[in-house]
Amino acid sequence: MQVTAIQTPLVKTGDDFFEVLSESLIDVPEESVLVITSKIISVCEGRVIPKSTNTDKHQLARQEAEYYLEPHNSRYNLMLTINNNQLFVNAGIDESNVDNSYVLWPTNLQEWANEIWLFLREEYDRQRVGVIISDSKTSPLHWGVTGASLAHAGFVALNSKIGKPDLYGQEMKMTQVNVAQALAVAGVLEMGEANEQTPLALIQNVREIVYQDRVPSSEELDSLKIALEDDLYAPLLTAVDWQLGGGHKRS
């Protein structure tokens, strides 16, 4: 697998996102996946709240999250939230690489992924391309951030191994490979987290990926999610008093 970070101009509020893509991408090869940090989409979309407005970050997180825990539950005064059916700190709201502001996620992540996929196919005359909108997230019991896929298009995100034999002929019972999440980790690692100014990454030569000639169906998107009570980590996730956030209405 080959991962290449791509530099863009410094993106500012109100910039045309697709113009930024056209200016930055010389080519998008057939059978490649473009990983895009959600932040540049948000900035172009205007999902930026200047700190000068004295807006409370915790209140923004309550507004954006599907579910949240109050910050007093954290020794770091951070809010653990569920957003986009994933665990994120402060509903993914970020302050880095933006001028004295808070950046929220784009308003409709999947619509953005679908539109970007269509743009790449038309602009670069490609048939087998994929798109991932990414962000950085923490993992329990480990320091450091890794990439996460917030939305995808153009390929099968979940590669099931159920029913297939392992090395000793034993039938696999539960294993499924989340291709979208795995590629997001690789893309975000190469893009960097500081002042690299490379919010795009092009991934090529992925061994196990199935490209699609359409955007993902609602059934495929739903198949990526696990209900809280059905999750392997349900004993932990259901042991706290989750509060219903404003993002629940949009999920």
Q: Strand, coil or helix: what is 67?
A: strand
In this prediction, residue 27 carries a pLDDT of: 94
pLDDT in tens, the chain (251 residues): 999 999 999 999 999 999 999 999 999 999 999 999 999 999 999 999 999 999 999 999 999 999 999 998 889 999 999 999 999 999 999 998 888 999 999 999 999 999 999 999 999 999 999 999 999 999 999 999 999 999 999 999 999 999 999 999 999 999 999 999 999 999 999 999 989 999 999 999 999 899 999 999 999 999 999 999 999 999 999 999 999 999 876 65
In this prediction, residue 251 carries a pLDDT of: 57
In this prediction, residue 126 carries a pLDDT of: 96
Q: In what order do the strands lie in the sheet with 86-89?
A: 86-89, 80-83, 67-68, 243-244
CA 176 to chain centroid, in Å, comes to 19
* Tokens (6 digits) for 76: 């770091």
CA angle 15, 19, 25 (to 5 degrees): 125
In this prediction, residue 187 carries a pLDDT of: 98
In this prediction, residue 127 carries a pLDDT of: 95
CA angle 50, 54, 60 (to 5 degrees): 75
What phi, psi does 221 have (nearest 5°)?
A: -65, -40
CATH of domain 2-245: 3.30.1330.100
Per domain, the residue ranges of the chain are: 2-245
CB atoms within 10 A of CB 152: 30
